Amino acid sequence: MPPVFGVLFDGFAYGMLLFLMSVGLSVTLGMMNFVNLAHCSFAMLGGYVTVTLMNTTGWPFLATLPAAFLVAAAASVVLERIFFRHFYRASDLEQCLLTIGIVFVSVAGAAYIYGTDQQPVRLPPYLLGSIHFAGLDFAIYRLFLIVTAMLITVVLAVTLETTRFGAKVRAAVNNQRMARGLGINVDGLFAVTFALGSGLAGLGGALAIAMIGLDPSFALTYLIYVLIVVSVGGLGSIAGSFAAAMLLGVSDIAGKYYVPAVGAFLIYLVMIVLLMWRPTGLFGRR
Amino acid sequence: MSEGALAARGVNKSFGSLIVAADVELILPPGMRYALIGPNGAGKTTLINLMTGMLAPDSGQIFLGPDDITALPPHERVRRGLVRTFQISTLFPHLTALESVTLAVCERRQVARTWWNRLTAYSDEIDEAYDILSALTLGPVCHRLTRELAYGQQRLLEIALALAAKPKVLLLDEPAAGVPRGESRELFAAIAGLSRDITVLFIEHDMDLVFRFASRVIVMVGGRVLVEGTPAEIAADPQVRAVYLGKARHGAAP
Amino acid sequence: MTSETIAGPHEFLRDQIRWRWSEIAFWLATLLPFVLAPDYLVLASQIAITALFVLSLDLILGFSGIVSLGHAAYFGVGAYTAGLLSAKLGWGEPLTGLLAAAIAAGIFGYLTSFIIARFRHLALIMITLGIGLVLQEAANSVSWLTGGFDGLQGVHTWPIFGRLRFDLYGYTAYSYSLAGLFIIFLIARRIIHSPFGLALRGIRENGLRMPAIGAPTRTHIRTIYTIAAIIAGIAGAMLTQTTETVSLEALGFQRSADVLVMLILGGTGRLYGGLIGAAVYMVARDQFSGLNPQYWYFWIGLLLIAVVMLLPNGILGGLENLARRVRGKP
């Protein structure tokens, strides 16, 4: 089997991670048009929660995942109540600046508490190693990542399509004014969706440690990738985020493997070209 | 086929399964005052968007005089004299009324691209802007920021901006929307006072005003033109009455 | 409410654009460092150069409403043009170096302006970010040419007019950069007070209404974006010439973000806001330069939050509000 399958596998795993970290931002941006650049701070928070719980209190890795989700969700509720909700009708610029300010503070805070080194995480033995199949090694952790993320994606899709909550979310993303007119409590809905999205980001951050590492600059470094996924995928679209995350994940890994000199470059160019072709994203509203 | 000042021929537009314009045929003879009425969601504003180029039709053509303008971008159409106002005031909040209208005049005269001369050097443009504002009773408040103007004054400024573009065809989207009864008469008097060189189409819900200022009325429902005629004919038309059941204020001919 | 008599439309507009005493005082004050702080002239020249860069961003962000997260790209192009001219081609004459930088940055700005003018909102922000990042990566990948993060070696700036040497004391550097800032400021001021400047503000205030009054919005945006790129390029070249070095951080995301912070801090759309923001930020950074960079960004983060929540129009906006309240107006 040619190495391209290995690249695809890794790209897929990376893409799933990006999806988990981006989907929340895409939905909240689509619903309230609130540019939350601090979204990856929640991912970073989730990562640090996992690290702290494992290293300080000896929790098993899998148990820390729900905790990462909950803590990130809770933190987002606090920030939303204190800061964000005053800015839903503010300009793009003001929202950017407010949330960039929060990112800076979170990055500095993480550096202060945890230092600037990469955080090690000791995965449980059953997640280590790899499966040998058809001439290639498939890392078990990445399989785990893919499976977990797919499960979550399915849950998200089902929730969105079949539940009342999901219907309300879709309505609010589609046309906020009309949704309000129909009596949907958009503000409350947004708070819940925001918390869920941030929680997912936190979960993504926790899962990311073993694949892409964790240090205080995480909130900024991956913000750029998340923004690319969201803008290319289209605001408010889960399918869009999924497609864009896969595209980005595979392009990035493939670029770094096949043309390392141009590697980082490639995704920015791909993003620019895709945005020029579809300014509101692949699945965005026109 | 006689040529109108503005014409829409076979215009279609839909968003997925939502049809907002279905085979619309419309000709506005020069100098006439037309009213476009219909229930909410009938596609009236959409039609204006299609004719001004803010929305591209799925099929059909738009003509300004003899010229096919379907492919022209919005600002080009304005250059050729097709001008509109907005139902929700679309103004420049932090510009004064004088600056807003002066800007419109400068754009029309194609001097807005000069960055090396002071604005104050363009006294003709400033005079013209001030004259337009004065004619609409906004002279005394021209130095006020747009956001500080009263709502009725803002609606007048909407029209001032449109007039600054020296329109041949003027599309007014609910010009009196939200303006109290007493003030809207002045608004429409201003429009009635418009030169007969300008062809006017206005969307209105207030039948009082429609009957007062329009010589012909077009009724749209569900993206289609239902019927067209004089105000008296429309008032008597049973189809129109059915559409407006409960909303009509004038039933019999005046 | 007091009754206000206005002299007439012409007088009103003239009054809006006349030189204020505060402006004259400001420019006189820029001469003070020569007398009061001669040890800090090198810092002063850095501030003047940065102020010029912030000014160029104000033209597109504050006046035209184009949010750019990649404006350092043009600064960097100018910086590297001047640097390469000297280091690789041995031509260190400063004024022609500025001209070359202006042309290079202008061409790059003009070409990218075609992309920029077509988009708004998130797509625009992302594209500006993308352009900056692409350029940064591209410059990094040709580090044999650009010197990478270590910087270009061998930049040597010749004396101005063959007489005024750049030395360690910064006297020439500050004179040079201040003169450049002032001259370009005058040009920017004229642009703002021209019909074109009015059109830019129209685009910022309501992008939807502009085509409805017949304005070729994209053409206007391309013009100002190119002008802003030229100014940013000149600022970049000045930095290279006065410090005799240039590295990748000249076109990095950090620089794009910093210039944005400075402009917001001072107040957008006021020309002087950017200058004041640059001065305050750079002086503060110099004072706290001993601080761990992590902590610096902690305070900048808090500052950003505070500015957005309490002083949305920056320092200058806050001062204007104060002045208005003191004068008793609403």
Question: 3-class SS at A19?
Answer: helix
Backbone CA torsion sign across C8, C9, C12, C18:
negative
Q: Are A84 and A146 in contact (CB under 8 A)?
A: no
Residue A207 clears pLDDT 70, i.e. is over it = yes
Residue closest to C76 by CA, chosen among C214, C178, C229: C229
Closest-approach residue (CA) in chain C for A98: C305
DSSP C291: S
Closest-approach residue (CA) in chain C for A229: C126
Domain annotation covers residue C80: yes
**Bridge partners of residue B28, in order along the sequence:** B6
Distance CA A72, CA C328 (A): 47
Residue A219 clears pLDDT 50, i.e. is over it = yes
Taking CA atoms, A49 is separated from A18, A41, A115, A193, A216, in Å, by 19, 12, 15, 21, 13
pLDDT band at residue C265, thresholds of 50, 70 and 90? Answer: very high
Q: Are C229 and C105 in contact (CB under 8 A)?
A: yes
Q: Are C70 and C128 in contact (CB under 8 A)?
A: yes
Taking CA atoms, C22 is separated from C11, C19, C26, C27, in Å, by 20, 8, 6, 9
**Bridge partners of residue C274, in order along the sequence:** none
- Those residues whose C-beta lies under 8 Å from the C-beta of residue A13, and which sit 6 or more positions away, are A139, A142, A143, A145, A146, A211, A249
Cβ-Cβ contacts under 8 Å, A106 against chain C? 301
What's residue A2's pLDDT? 63
Q: What percent of chain C has pLDDT over 90?
A: 61
Domain annotation covers residue C6: no
Domain annotation covers residue A191: yes
Q: Which domain holds residue C104?
A: 37-291
Phi, psi (rounded to 5 degrees) for A57: -115, 10
Domain annotation covers residue C5: no
pLDDT band at residue A286, thresholds of 50, 70 and 90? Answer: low
Average pLDDT in chain B: 88
What's residue C1's pLDDT? 37
Domain annotation covers residue C127: yes
Closest-approach residue (CA) in chain B for C213: B104
Domain annotation covers residue A58: yes
Domain annotation covers residue C7: no
Which of C6, C190, C213 is nearest residue B107 as measured by Cβ atoms?
C213
Residue B207 clears pLDDT 70, i.e. is over it = yes
Which tens digits make up the pLDDT trace of B55-113?
Answer: 999 999 999 999 999 999 999 999 999 999 999 999 999 999 999 999 999 999 999 99
Domain annotation covers residue A284: no
According to DSSP, the β-strands at B169-173 and B59-64 are unpaired
Residue B247 clears pLDDT 70, i.e. is over it = no
Which of B84, B90, B116 is nearest residue C206 as measured by Cβ atoms?
B90
Mean pLDDT value of segment C38-67: 95
Q: What percent of chain B has pLDDT over 90?
A: 61
CATH label of the domain that carries residue C56: 1.10.3470
Chains touching chain C at 3 or more Cβ pairs under 8 angstroms?
A: A, B
Lowest mean pLDDT across A6-15, B77-86, B177-186, C220-229: B177-186
The number of residues in chain A equals 286
Residue B245 clears pLDDT 70, i.e. is over it = no
Report CB contact under 8 Å: C130, A271: yes
Structure-token match 């609409």, residue found: B136
What's residue A39's pLDDT? 92
Mean pLDDT value of segment C150-176: 85
Q: Are C101 and C237 in contact (CB under 8 A)?
A: yes
According to DSSP, the β-strands at B18-28 and B6-15 are antiparallel
ipTM rounded to 2 decimals: 0.89
Distance CA A95, CA C312 (A): 11
Q: For A85, left (φ over 0), alpha (ψ -120 to 50), or beta? A: alpha
Of residues A266 and B131, which shows the higher confidence score? Answer: B131
Distance CA B166, CA B129 (A): 11
Residue B242 clears pLDDT 90, i.e. is over it = no
Residue B172 distance to chain C (closest CA, Å):
12
Residue C19 distance to chain A (closest CA, Å):
30
Which tens digits make up the pLDDT trace of C55-75?
Answer: 999 999 999 999 999 999 999
Tokens of A157: 């899709």
Domain annotation covers residue A90: yes
Distance CA C135, CA C104 (A): 14
What is the tally of structural domains in chain C? 1
Phi, psi (rounded to 5 degrees) for B217: -130, 135
Taking CA atoms, C127 is separated from A33, B51, C163, C266, in Å, by 18, 31, 44, 25
Mutate: best of A221, A265, A273, A285, partner C, most C CBs <10 A: A265
Tokens of B26: 């419309």
Distance CA C137, CA C134 (A): 5
Mean pLDDT value of segment C72-84: 96
Residue closest to C109 by CA, chosen among C240, C197, C227, C219: C227
Phi, psi (rounded to 5 degrees) for B85: -115, 170
Q: Are B141 and B153 in contact (CB under 8 A)?
A: yes
Taking CA atoms, C187 is separated from B240, C190, C194, C222, in Å, by 61, 5, 11, 18
Residue closest to C200 by CA, chosen among C67, C71, C66, C102: C66
Helix (H) or strand (E) holding B235: helix B231-236
Mutate: best of B143, B154, B168, B173, partner C, most C CBs <10 A: B143
Of residues A175 and A8, which shows the higher confidence score? Answer: A8
Of residues A180 and C194, which shows the higher confidence score? Answer: C194
Chains touching chain B at 3 or more Cβ pairs under 8 angstroms?
A: C
Which of C125, C294, C300 is nearest residue A111 as measured by Cβ atoms?
C294
Which tens digits make up the pLDDT trace of A222-276?
Answer: 988 998 899 888 888 888 899 999 998 998 888 888 887 776 778 888 888 888 8
pLDDT band at residue B28, thresholds of 50, 70 and 90? Answer: very high
What's residue B243's pLDDT? 78
What's residue B252's pLDDT? 43
Distance CA C277, CA C262 (A): 5
Residue closest to A152 by CA, chosen among A17, A9, A8, A14: A17
The residue ranges of DSSP E strands in chain B, in sequence order, are: 6-15, 18-28, 33-37, 59-64, 67-68, 82-84, 169-173, 199-203, 216-221, 224-229
What's residue C329's pLDDT? 60
Q: Are A225 and A59 in contact (CB under 8 A)?
A: no
| pTM for this entry | 0.90
Mean pLDDT value of segment C84-107: 94
Residue closest to B103 by CA, chosen among A84, A48, C201: C201
A-C contacts at Cβ under 8 angstroms: 108
Mean pLDDT value of segment B139-152: 92
Mean pLDDT value of segment B12-40: 89
Domain annotation covers residue C116: yes
Domain annotation covers residue A286: no
Residue A234 distance to chain C (closest CA, Å):
10
What is the tally of structural domains in chain A? 1
Residue A38 clears pLDDT 60, i.e. is over it = yes
Cβ count within 10 A of residue B76 = 15
Q: Where are the alpha helices (DSSP H) in chain A?
A: 3-32, 39-57, 61-82, 92-114, 140-162, 164-174, 176-181, 186-212, 218-233, 238-258, 263-277
Q: Which domain holds residue A269?
A: 3-277
Structure-token match 């992309």, residue found: C115
Which of A231, A262, A264 is nearest residue C126 as measured by Cβ atoms?
A231
Please report the domains of chain B, with CATH numbers, ordered by start residue: 6-243 (3.40.50.300)
Distance CA A254, CA A176 (A): 39
Chain C, residues 134-193, CB within 8 A of chain A, namely 134, 137-138, 141
Q: In chain C, count of helices (H) and strands (E)?
A: 16, 0
Distance CA A158, CA A167 (A): 11
Cα angle B133, B135, B137; round to 5: 70
Mutate: best of C304, C307, C309, partner A, most A CBs <10 A: C304
Distance CA B112, CA B120 (A): 13
Mutate: best of C57, C122, C251, partner A, most A CBs <10 A: C122
pLDDT band at residue C6, thresholds of 50, 70 and 90? Answer: low
Chain C, residues 116-135, CB within 8 A of chain A, namely 118-119, 121-123, 125-127, 129-131, 133-134
Residue closest to C115 by CA, chosen among C128, C102, C106: C128
Helix crossing, C72-87 with C121-141: angle to 10°?
20
Average pLDDT in chain C: 90
Which tens digits make up the pLDDT trace of A55-94?
Answer: 888 888 888 999 999 999 999 999 998 988 888 888 888 8
Residue B116 clears pLDDT 70, i.e. is over it = yes
Structure-token match 């000199």, residue found: A261
Cβ-Cβ contacts under 8 Å, B103 against chain C? 195, 198-199, 202, 213, 215
pLDDT band at residue B2, thresholds of 50, 70 and 90? Answer: low
Structure-token match 């139902």, residue found: B87
